[in-house]
C-alpha cells in the first residue's frame, strides 16, 4: 500500500510517500481501507517530535480517518467487512490502510461523505465538549472563540451558534473572520491588530463574555481571559501559538473566574455519559445540515504541502487527504 512516512523529525517537508507492506489486524483489531484522512494540528507536532506523546521513527503520521472495514483480526466479530467507519489514532492514518482497535471505531454519522466524515470527529467533539461538557454554555450567552477560522475554532463557532450562543470570533485577519461569520459568529475581532480585551467588552455591552474557548494559547489567552465578565468560564483546549500561557491567578480571584481544560483523547474513559450525549447532539446537528468546513482536499502525494499549510497558519477549517485520488 502507499503511505506517508516520517523517517526524521522536523518540518513536514521531510515527509515522503512510499510503498510499504500492507498491515494485518491482530487480536481485537480491524483493518480499514482508508478513503480520507484529515489533517489535525497535532500531526504537525508529532512529525516535529513536539507532541506530548512521542512516535518512534520511522512511522506513518495521520490521526483521523474515514473508510470501510477491510478485515477483522482474531476475536473480532464486527463491524462487517464493507461497513463505513471513522476513527482516531495517534499515527498511521495517512495511508491506504490502517489497523486500529475494534473498540476505537465509530459509525459515520448519517449524511456525511467520506471527506467530511474524516474531518468531523476530532474537532467537532472537542469543540462540543469544550463548549458544553466543560464550558457549561447556555443559549443567549456570549462566547469568544479564539482561532475561530481553524479546525477546532470553526467547529466551536458552528456548534455555539447552532446552540443559540452569541459568538465573538477572534482570528488573525479579516478574511479569516469572514469565514467565522459565515459559520454564525455575530462579531469578529482581529486579535493581531486590535485590543482583544477591550473589543470583547465593547461588543458585549461593557459586561464581558460569559465563556472563552481557547485552542490557541500563547499571547492571546490572557487578553481573552481579561475580556470575561464576573464568574466567566475560560476553557483551555490547545496551544497552536506554540507558547503555553502563564495566567496571573489574581485575575481569576478578582472576578471569580472558572478556568478549565478539555482533552479529547481521554474523555471517553472519564466521562462516558458526556460522550454519549455529545454523540447524540452532534448526530442531530448533522441531520439538520451541519458539516465541517473542508477548505482543501489533497491527494496523498500532497501530504507535505497539506501539513505545511496547517503549520504556517494558512488554512481555514479542515484540510483533508483523499486516499482514493492519484
Interface positions with ligand NAP (CB under 6 A): 40-42, 122, 126, 147, 149-153, 171-172, 176, 215-216, 237-242, 262-264, 310, 313
DSSP structural state of residue 150: S
Least CB distance to ligand NAP at residue 69 (A): 25
Provide the 10 A C-beta neighbour count for residue 258: 15
Least CB distance to ligand NAP at residue 149 (A): 5
Q: Which residues pair with 59 in a beta bridge?
A: 6
**Phi then psi for 31, rounded to 5 degrees?**
-95, 125
Least CB distance to ligand NAP at residue 326 (A): 26
Euclidean distance between the first and the last CA atom of the chain, given in angstroms as a whole number: 13
The answer to whether 24 touches 99, Cβ cutoff 8 Å, is: yes
Least CB distance to ligand NAP at residue 155 (A): 8
* Nine cell digits for residue 287: 441531520
DSSP helix/strand/coil, 189? strand
DSSP structural state of residue 110: T
DSSP helix/strand/coil, 173? coil
Complex with ligand NAP: residue 263 or 277, whichever CB lies closer:
263
Q: Which of 140, 143, 113 shows the shortest CA–CA distance to 320?
A: 113
Complex with ligand NAP: residue 72 or 223, whichever CB lies closer:
223
Least CB distance to ligand NAP at residue 285 (A): 18
Least CB distance to ligand NAP at residue 312 (A): 7
Complex with ligand NAP: residue 75 or 242, whichever CB lies closer:
242
Q: Which residues pair with 86 in a beta bridge?
A: 66, 106
β-strands 142-146, 209-214 pairing: parallel
Complex with ligand NAP: residue 291 or 313, whichever CB lies closer:
313
Complex with ligand NAP: residue 35 or 176, whichever CB lies closer:
176
Least CB distance to ligand NAP at residue 65 (A): 15
DSSP code string of 56-109: PSSB----EEEEEEEEE-TT---SPTT-EEEEE-SS--SBSEEEEEGGG-EEPP
Q: Which of 127, 129, 142 shows the shortest CA–CA distance to 232?
A: 142
Least CB distance to ligand NAP at residue 152 (A): 4
Answer whether the bond into residue 321 is a cis peptide, omega within 30°: no
Complex with ligand NAP: residue 33 or 123, whichever CB lies closer:
123
- C-alpha–C-alpha distance, residues 270 and 180, integer Å: 31
Complex with ligand NAP: residue 8 or 312, whichever CB lies closer:
312
Complex with ligand NAP: residue 69 or 189, whichever CB lies closer:
189
Amino acid at each position: 500500500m502507499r503511505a506517508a512516512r516520517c523517517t526524521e523529525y522536523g518540518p513536514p517537508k521531510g515527509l515522503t510517500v512510499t510503498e510499504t507492506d500492507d498491515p494485518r489486524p491482530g487480536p481485537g483489531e480491524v483493518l480499514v481501507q482508508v478513503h480520507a484522512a484529515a489533517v489535525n494540528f497535532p500531526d504537525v507536532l508529532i512529525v516535529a517530535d513536539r507532541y506530548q506523546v512521542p512516535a518512534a521513527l520511522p512511522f506513518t503520521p495521520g490521526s483521523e480517518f474515514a473508510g470501510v472495514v477491510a478485515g477483522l483480526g482474531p476475536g473480532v466479530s464486527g463491524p462487517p467487512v464493507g461497513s463505513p467507519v471513522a476513527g482516531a489514532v495517534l499515527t498511521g492514518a495517512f495511508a491506504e490502510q490502517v489497523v486500529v482497535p475494534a473498540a476505537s471505531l465509530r459509525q459515520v454519522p448519517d449524511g456525511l461523505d467520506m471527506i467530511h466524515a474524516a474531518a468531523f470527529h476530532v474537532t467537532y467533539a472537542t469543540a462540543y465538549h469544550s463548549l458544553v461538557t466543560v464550558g457549561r454554555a447556555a443559549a443567549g450567552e456570549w462566547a469568544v472563540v479564539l482561532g475561530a477560522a481553524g479546525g477546532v475554532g470553526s467547529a466551536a463557532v458552528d456548534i455555539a451558534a447552532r446552540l443559540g450562543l452569541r459568538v465573538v470570533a477572534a482570528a488573525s485577519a479579516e478574511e479569516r473572520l469572514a469565514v467565522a461569520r459565515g459559520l454564525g459568529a455575530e462579531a469578529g475581532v482581529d486579535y493581531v491588530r486590535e485590543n482583544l480585551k477591550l473589543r470583547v467588552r465593547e461588543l458585549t455591552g461593557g459586561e464581558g463574555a460569559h465563556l472563552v474557548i481557547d485552542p490557541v494559547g500563547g499571547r492571546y489567552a490572557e487578553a481573552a481571559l481579561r475580556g470575561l465578565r464576573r464568574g466567566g468560564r475560560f476553557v483551555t483546549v490547545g496551544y497552536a501559538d506554540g507558547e503555553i500561557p502563564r495566567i496571573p491567578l489574581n485575575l481569576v480571584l478578582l472576578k471569580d473566574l472558572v478556568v478549565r481544560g478539555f482533552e479529547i483523547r481521554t474523555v471517553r474513559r472519564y466521562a462516558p455519559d458526556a460522550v454519549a450525549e455529545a454523540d447524540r447532539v452532534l448526530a442531530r446537528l448533522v441531520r439538520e445540515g451541519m458539516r465541517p468546513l473542508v477548505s482543501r482536499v489533497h491527494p496523498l502525494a500532497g501530504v507535505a504541502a497539506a501539513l505545511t499549510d496547517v503549520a504556517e497558519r494558512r488554512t481555514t477549517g479542515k484540510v483533508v487527504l483523499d486516499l482514493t485520488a492519484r
